[in-house]
Amino acid sequence: MRETKALTSRQREVFEFILKWMRETRLPPTLSEVAQFLGVPYPKSAATHLDALEKKGYIQRSPGKARGILLTPLGESYQMDRLIENILEIPIVGRIRAGRLTGSEIVPDGTLAVPLSLFTEKPDFALQIRGDSMNGAGILDGDMAFIRKTREARNGDLIVAHIQGEMTLKQLIVEKRQMILRAANPLYADIRVSPDDESALVQGKMIGLFRDQRTNGGRNWS
């Protein structure tokens, strides 16, 4: 029976490289590819790390095969644990108009499990888009927008704003201290907000988008 031990940080890097390579190519890496990842000139230098992973029970190797690395049950368990650790459960808090200021629904509606690696910033919630005013920005009716809560936004950001008692998703344009909410569809006029209008509030910034193939012709993350 192989001895099972925790991995060193370097061994973990090598093992996670192997897992990533297998996810992306559906094949295990060769010894030369592991050496290239490590930045070492000779495959034998990489072999010591594979020896350690095999001794600790994370992989098996088939002698004589260039792509002979196989995951053991322990290795597969590690992979599943890492996947779970890197999954976010994002609350879907309702539907938001990307159109005229009518009919937004801010009602909890379950969660959406998404990979953490998709984001440079962690989203706080998701909203389903209703309407066509942001079509020109690639945001379609039925898409799921991921939002980070913030009261601050920069010129050009895509924001969720509360205005006139409604919620809307628009691009923020700032001109001479005036806030303009601009659609990405010429059929919709700008919404101009006076600096004195205390009812107009930025609720968050869009940091990602999900499109379901069943509603908009292709499952896609952006």
Catalytic residue among 133, 176, 199, 222: 133
Q: Residue 197, Cα to own-chain centre: how many angstroms?
A: 35
Confirm whether 133 is a catalytic residue: yes
Place of tokens 């309702």: 94
The full DSSP string for 146-162 is EEEE-S---TT-EEEEE
Catalytic residue among 170, 199, 205, 222: 170
Non-local (6+) Cβ contacts of 148 within 8 A are 121, 122, 123, 124, 204, 205, 207
Alpha-carbon span 121 to 175, nearest angstrom: 27
Short-list 95, 218, 220, 114, CA closest to 160:
95
3-class secondary structure, 79:
helix
Which residue shows structure tokens 């509030």? 201
Residue 144 φ then ψ, to 5°: -110, 120
Give catalytic status of residue 222 as yes or no.
no
Active site residues: 133, 170
